[in-house]
Amino acid sequence: MPTLPERILHLATQIQQIPAPTFDEARRAEFVRGLFAAEGLADVQTDAAGNVLARLPGTGSAAPLAVSAHLDTVFPLETDLRLIHQSDRIIGPGIGDNSLGVAGLLGLVWGLRQENISLEGDLWLAANTGEEGLGDLRGMRALVERFGGGVRAYVVLEGMALGHVYHRALGVQRYRVTAHTPGGHSWTDYGHPSAIHELSSFVTRLSALKLPSEPRTTLNVGRITGGTSVNTIAAEACLELDLRSESPRALDDLVRRVEGMVQALNRPGVTIQAEVIGRRPAGEIPASHPLVRLAVDSLAEQGLSANLTIGSTDANIPLSLGYPAICVGLTGGSGAHTTNEYIYTAPVERGLASLVGLVRSVFRLSS
């Protein structure tokens, strides 16, 4: 009979084989819904945001706990999802981010039942949508709108990053910047403004910006599209820009600078517009918060050291609203968001044991 870690890893590979790009998670969601139902969980349902929820009833009247893991991946539908199994790892796109995290929702149920642990309140499990890319955390926004402060805490699962406890939410603002010009022929209309040239100039100016290292602040142009042909002066082009900072104030300052640069590029024959396409609000709970301390202790019980850190995860939403929330991992790995992504198999046992211990101990927190 397979061990609990083997069951979780096998389930993670099944989940990974179901494509789930952001905004197209329905097939994977339906698979998870079937798993929840097969486990005999209560209130199995799919909400308007596409989140799949289920409830493991507790034995007491304590406030419930919400544990979530995002369904979506960064990979388009046509991605080759072939897996490679090696002695110490599994390699394949999305296996750690976040197929293993979703499998961890079921693993948590199995682990609690295996140890005959009865929780003092209900445990809500959520496989949520829209964490990656332009999903803008829509699934978690819907979950927090539903539960608000009615749960004792939010625990977010990621497949990788075992040992990291994300208790601080990294602020992010994303733009689609679009340039419009009259365009023309590359020879006969030479000298007319090109939308691609205008955006290229903008990117050059962005690259020259001096950003603080403390608090750490970054920018990235992730995509550029536009133009008609090699011999056409581009009439339209756009780029997608990601701005981040550990400090809300520093992020606000960067936003003002970037928006000012966009406005300054507008002139007769050239129109540049910046559309906000994503906001991930900042927030945090202190390292001394009981939820953080319990996460640290649950790792220590498995012989693991905790790294208290900041990140952009589903936990951004509850943290930004003042609700206790953390994000934790189930194993180690690397290569997230690449087709060579991999997870280590051996640490899953301790990662799951740490999660079970954390969930059990969270019910010690006052509601």
Each residue of 33-77: pLDDT tens digit?
999 999 999 999 999 999 999 999 999 889 999 999 999 999 999
Spatial neighbors of 264 by CB under 8 A, at least 6 apart, are none
Average confidence (pLDDT) over 351-363: 97
Whether the ω angle into residue 51 lies within 30 degrees of 0, i.e. cis, is no
- Looking at residue 21, its pLDDT comes to 98
Assign 365 a pLDDT band (cuts: 50, 70, 90): confident
| Rounded distance between C-alpha atoms, residue 29 and residue 25, angstroms | 6
244-299 tens-digit pLDDT: 999 999 999 999 999 999 999 999 999 999 999 999 999 999 999 999 999 999 99
Average of per-residue pLDDT across 83-92: 98
Helix (H) or strand (E) holding 138: helix 138-147
d(CA 340, CA 192): 44
* Radius of gyration of the chain, Cα coordinates, nearest whole angstrom: 23
Mean pLDDT, all residues of the chain: 97
| Domains of the chain and CATH, by start | 4-170+282-362 (3.40.630.10), 171-280 (3.30.70.360)
Q: Is 55 exposed, middle or buried (0-12, 13-18, 19+ CB in 10 A)?
A: middle
Of 58, 291, 72, the C-alpha closest to 167 is 291
What digits encode the pLDDT tens for the residues 311-336?
Answer: 999 999 999 999 999 999 999 999 99
**CB neighbour class for 310 (10 Å; exposed up to 12, middle 13-18, buried from 19):** middle
- Separation of alpha carbons 64 and 153, rounded Å: 8
Residues 330 and 105 sit within 8 Å (Cβ to Cβ): no
Torsion of CA 106, 109, 112, 113, to 10 degrees: -110
Residues 6+ apart with CB under 8 A from 1: none
User: Under 8 Å CB-to-CB from 64, ≥6 apart: which residues?
Assistant: 55, 58, 121, 122, 123, 124, 147, 150, 151, 152
Q: Of 19, 26, 7, 21, which Cα lies nearest the Cα of 105?
A: 7
How far apart are alpha carbons 20 and 79 in whole angstroms? 10
Length of the chain: 367
Q: Strand pairing of 62-70 and 154-158?
A: parallel
Q: Look at residue 367 and tell me whether its pLDDT is greater than 90.
A: no
**8 Å CB contact between 239 and 177:** yes
Count of alpha carbons within 13 angstroms of residue 51, beta-carbon side: 30
d(CA 266, CA 276): 18
Outline where 172-289 has alpha helix (H). 195-208, 248-265
pLDDT at position 364 is 80
DSSP 11: H
pLDDT recorded at residue 329: 98
Span 70-98, mean pLDDT? 97
pLDDT at 55: 98
The amino acid at residue 105 is L
The closest of 3, 31, 36 to 16, measured between CA atoms, is 31
Pairing state of beta strands 171-180 and 271-280? antiparallel
Query: Does residue 324 contact residue 289 with C-beta atoms inside 8 Å?
Result: yes
pLDDT at position 366 is: 66
- Report the pLDDT value the prediction gives residue 292, as an integer from 0 to 100: 98
pLDDT at site 150: 96
- Which are the contacts of 268, defined by CB distance < 8 A and separation ≥ 6? none
Give the separation between CA 2 and CA 6, rounded to whole angstroms.
6
Q: How many other CB atoms are there within 10 angstroms of residue 24's CB atom?
A: 15
Mean pLDDT on 196-216: 96
Q: Given pLDDT bands bounded at 50, 70 and 90, which one contains residue 1? A: confident
pLDDT of residue 48: 98
